[in-house]
Structure 1
Amino acid sequence: ITYVGEDDSRFFCHLHGRKFNVLNTRYMLPSDEEEVRRSELHHRMLQFLFNGNNYVGPVKDVLSGTAREASGGAPERRRVLDLGTGGGFWAIDIADEFPEAEVIGVDLAPIQPREVPENCTFELCDLDQWHLPYPNEHFDIVHARFMHTGIEHYPRFLHEIARMLRPGGLVVLIEPDTEPIADG
């Protein structure tokens, strides 16, 4: 669902002095300003690790390629889906870098900025549900990172990504290794 509004209180509850989303109680991180700041720091750290880039892999090749023709013969806009967008930093940066692409960021909570590039929108959705509300073969790129704690059925999540991805599209998943490592 798309949500833009000033009163977003119905999407949150308060617990131990922090604000949490109410759409998916499995997701354990807060949805408040402190978490948005942490999320931005995390995003900027990844940019540093990627040598100033917002992505790894052939994202630029996919988004800079020749636009495919829609059924009527007109060029069709490239589409990017950012799953678990959080504060929306990756989606906004990609929208700025590729203004000809349509970028949609999806999250459980409306914590993204209200002023964003024209080609960037944010929507609310519980990504752990079966059948996400997007058409088959709709996106050129699907991006998700650090979703492992918020997705109960990860294989189903991957199936949904594959369903929404256009043939020849790109999936960019960044997840931590959850196996503990001990030295010695």
Structure 2
Amino acid sequence: MAYEPSQNMANPGLRPRLDQAAFNLTPSQAATTAYVPSMADTSVATDEQEHHNYPTDTSNTHDNTADDSRSRSSKYTYRSEIDAGRFIKRIGGRAYNTLSETYFLPSDDDEWSRLNKQHVALVLSLGDLYPAVEEVRALLAPVPGQTKRILDLGCGTGVWAMDMAREFPEAEVIGVDLAPVPADLDTMPPNCRFEIDDINLGLDHFRDSFDVVHMRLVGSGLKNFRKTMDDGHQCLKPGGIALWMDVDYDMYAEDQHVYLPFALEEDEDNPDQTDRSWFQRIVYGK
């Protein structure tokens, strides 16, 4: 069946959660991850930005033991565009994220429009929201007593995550991005939520938690795309599927041979090393 975006939800009486508790954050992640409602909620506009600490929502935590590296973290919820502004900086009339210097593209209306057009182009080229259609649908088919879970890394405007939430209303969908997602609570599926985080910092708090992990055209924001690919795979449950759509990260010389792997951060202490390519790092390794 060809992809057709749907606005229908499994239960139109449900609404997305505004206050979303921390999800298995490690101490290092707790300071950088935010759980966010819609930017459309602008009812609170105060000079002082609000911070809220809530108990961990155990319904969304897979390991509620005494191990603080896996649970009992605080969370941050923004209540207005003013509050969300702490994640945005303005340069030359454009808005950019404040969490990562690696990702250099804007986060504003013009960029959101481009990302949504890109989404439509990719869906039309695939003929659906995702490749391996039969395998993905079989994996996400409802199973009594289980909640299937989908993770969208570098979710952009959140359009793919929300479309997946509508197609699989019994699954839980989480989108992660560097900047607030321009989602509207009135059209956002209740089984979808978004987080603000820099996936370059690692994904240990998501380990072994998802049936499908999706990453699409995120390479320009990654410090080490091979490491992030490995991190994404570690987020999968046994038998899960990773969907990665991106460009070819191998750089080729004129005679078609492949350059060495890009130099790593630790190579800065040994600039004369010859096992990895500094030129490759400039282009792809950041």
> What fraction of aligned residue pairs are identical, expressed as a percent?
35
Offset, 1:62: 1.2
Contact 2:203 2:232 in 1 (8 A): no
Return the alpha-carbon distance in structure 1 between the equivalents of residues 172 and 208 of structure 2. Answer: 15
Alignment equivalent of 2:140, drawn from 54, 63, 70: 63
| Pairing 1:48-59 to 2, within 5 Å after superposition | 48-51=124-127, 53-57=128-132, 58-59=135-136
Higher RCO structure, 1 or 2 (CA under 8 Å, sep 6+): 1
Which residue of structure 2 lines up, in the alignment, with residue 129 of structure 1?
Answer: 201
- Which TM-score applies when normalising by structure 2? 0.57
| Pairing 1:82-101 to 2, within 5 Å after superposition | 82-101=152-171
Return the alpha-carbon distance in structure 1 between the equivalents of residues 203 and 190 of structure 2. Answer: 27
| Pairing 1:22-61 to 2, within 5 Å after superposition | 22-51=98-127, 53-57=128-132, 58-61=135-138
Compared with structure 1, are the counterparts of its residues 132 and 19 closer, same or farther at alpha carbon in structure 2 (3 Å cutoff)?
A: farther
Offset, 1:61: 1.7
Which residue of structure 2 lines up, in the alignment, with residue 77 of structure 1?
Answer: 147
Structure with greater proportional strand content:
1
Return the alpha-carbon distance in structure 2 between the equivalents of residues 109 and 132 of structure 1. Answer: 20
Return the alpha-carbon distance in structure 1 between the equivalents of residues 240 and 180 of structure 2. Answer: 28
Offset, 1:132: 4.4
- Deviations 1:101-132 (Å, cap 9, x if unpaired)? 10001000003303210000011110111344
Compared with structure 1, are the counterparts of its residues 131 and 81 closer, same or farther at alpha carbon in structure 2 (3 Å cutoff)?
A: closer
Which residue of structure 2 lines up, in the alignment, with residue 70 of structure 1?
Answer: none
Contact 1:20 1:31 in 2 (8 A): yes
Alignment equivalent of 2:190, drawn from 102, 118, 126: 118
Where in structure 1 do 4 or more consecutive aligned residues deviate above 4 Å?
none
- The alignment covers a number of residue pairs equal to 173
Return the alpha-carbon distance in structure 1 between the equivalents of residues 165 and 237 of structure 2. Answer: 19
Compared with structure 1, are the counterparts of its residues 90 and 118 closer, same or farther at alpha carbon in structure 2 (3 Å cutoff)?
A: same
Structure of larger gyration radius: 2
Contact 1:99 1:119 in 2 (8 A): yes
Give unpaired runs (5+ residues) of structure 1: 68-73
Return the alpha-carbon distance in structure 2 between the equivalents of residues 26 and 132 of structure 1. Answer: 21
RMSD: 1.8
- Which TM-score applies when normalising by structure 1? 0.88
Contact 1:31 1:111 in 2 (8 A): no
Which residue of structure 2 lines up, in the alignment, with residue 3 of structure 1?
Answer: 36
Offset, 1:133: 3.1
